Structure 1
């Protein structure tokens, strides 16, 4: 019998594993300390973004501006000095908390070169800057990229991850926030630099993006993304999966907007939703199952997750072995 790690990596490489792996259950996740460190007085991080807890989790405070104007980023952002971080201590702590049977995933970032400027000055000014201050925005994007690339090198030296998780929420429910032209001219070169750095340390690159990514799926694959974490199943994604097959490795699959996600959903409906996710996106492999991470902590949510994981273990193990359910 192979380990969870070996099985997970089979799917991550676009193969048909022995069973459908679970992102939540089969991975050890490393997050550098600096992403969660905030000023105790203001609640702000090293980009001067203030974070608050709400029903959606840890989110930027919409009432807070990290800076008034984009050209203030140089004096506002205090990038951690990567070489001075206690990497041996972080690595040892991660090792002590990890299951050697599971895959190792290092989180490089969730907010990145697209979202950080927006989180600092707001959606309106952040998107307007793409057109009104492209040179200044690109200088900021370049600086964030250089920081992330340096962090990747230390991942390689101390954490030795199988997969490095990066990403940016470049899309909403109706489609991408940016055009193909803006992607090509402003963002693509820097995202590719990050993906190349991940590959240089011998890890797979996983890219997270919420929303209906549409043309961005093609763009992600073009720059070398190995795994697309796309927690918004939709017709566009199904079409892309049919087009690319095992080349499009997905983390996700479960439709968090379906009847199975509603409060009070029955066990039958929930279990059927898991089967549908696997049939739609992983019948031939190249799927790492994930519920989207927003089921909540209520009693209803707890039962729902028990059914989801139970059916994943049942149907997800039978589907690749041609056994009856």
Structure 2
């Protein structure tokens, strides 16, 4: 297979030749230029819902401004929340701003990110505490808002299919803290899951693969997620990755970060060693990689330990190459 065919096979949980190298065989559209689900990189400002974001130099990212909330009461969402007019958007200009002409469609998988999913958009509009309270006190109103947001996301998918024609979309909605889900599994199943399901199904109707990006720890939700038809789950290594692969049982590919938080903390504390990094990641890449349904989220290296991670991944992916049977 070509690198593009191999990556699409991984995304489709089919037989692969070799674990893919993230970022190399893919052209990613991060929608902060053409359609502003968040402000432009390295800047604060307002997104296309009118929500204010503040850029943090320390975090090198923008986050919702905690001092301003557009929506104070979830019961007022119909009057207060102004959904962007997707028909009035200049999509041809958006494609230019997102440099889609630089994509090599013969050799690259085109991946368009969709930011601020159900829970994320709710807390960007309301603030985190109020959003969590609304889930408990006004579930019907939250559900109605999520229905409207799912309609909006499905229409956005229609526009992306028409103007960007991606192979896959990466849909963002973080569901967990460092220790567990933001909400009870039952609340997630009632309010979030069915709306995400609609978006997944519509994505597949358009012939686009669906990658779910969700940070945090939410192992209790993996059985549900693996049954939704989600093609790839992009998650954090604080999850039980081996168990997630087992539960998914070939129906969903798992892509996980590589001890990003622990290695950064241990390195700053002076206790991280090259030997530890090499031994740990080589073992995990080999154990999980044998499934043919896992690959790590290996960032372009900017630290010494990220270089080590990349070196070990290169070793393992070639050690396992050609061993996949299904």
Instruction: Verify same fold: TM over 0.5.
Output: yes
Give structure 1 stretches of 5+ with no counterpart. none
Distance in 2 between the 1:96 and 1:268 partners? 43
Distance in 2 between the 1:20 and 1:44 partners? 39
Q: Which residue is 1:163 aligned to?
A: 168
Q: Which residue is 2:17 aligned to?
A: 18
Secondary structure of the 2:84 match is: coil
| Greater Cα shift, 79-88 or 41-50 | 41-50
Aligned residues: 311
Q: Is residue 2:325 matched to residue 1:320?
A: no
Q: What TM-score does the superposition give when structure 1 sets the normalisation length?
A: 0.85
Distance in 1 between the 2:200 and 2:170 partners? 10
Q: Which residue is 1:285 aligned to?
A: 292
Offset of residue 112 of structure 1: 1.2
Q: What TM-score does the superposition give when structure 2 sets the normalisation length?
A: 0.85
Secondary structure of the 1:114 match is: helix
Q: Which residue is 2:250 aligned to?
A: 246
Asked if structure 1 preserves the Cα contact closer than 8 Å seen for 2:234 and 2:254, the reply is yes
C-alpha spacing 1:60/1:37, structure 2 compared with 1 (3 Å): closer
Q: Which residue is 2:113 aligned to?
A: 107
From 235, 243, 254, the equivalent of 1:230 is 235
Asked if structure 1 preserves the Cα contact closer than 8 Å seen for 2:3 and 2:20, the reply is yes
C-alpha spacing 1:187/1:123, structure 2 compared with 1 (3 Å): same
C-alpha spacing 1:36/1:118, structure 2 compared with 1 (3 Å): closer
Give structure 2 stretches of 5+ with no counterpart. none
Asked if structure 2 preserves the Cα contact closer than 8 Å seen for 1:253 and 1:277, the reply is no
From 135, 142, 145, the equivalent of 1:137 is 142
Secondary structure of the 2:156 match is: helix
Give the 5 Å matches for 1:1-325: 2-32=1-31, 33=34, 34-37=36-39, 43-54=45-56, 55-56=58-59, 57-91=61-95, 93-100=98-105, 101-109=107-115, 111-235=116-240, 237-259=241-263, 262-263=266-267, 265-291=272-298, 301-321=302-322
- Deviation string for 1:44-86 (max 9, x for gaps)? 2233322122233221122332232223333443322112222
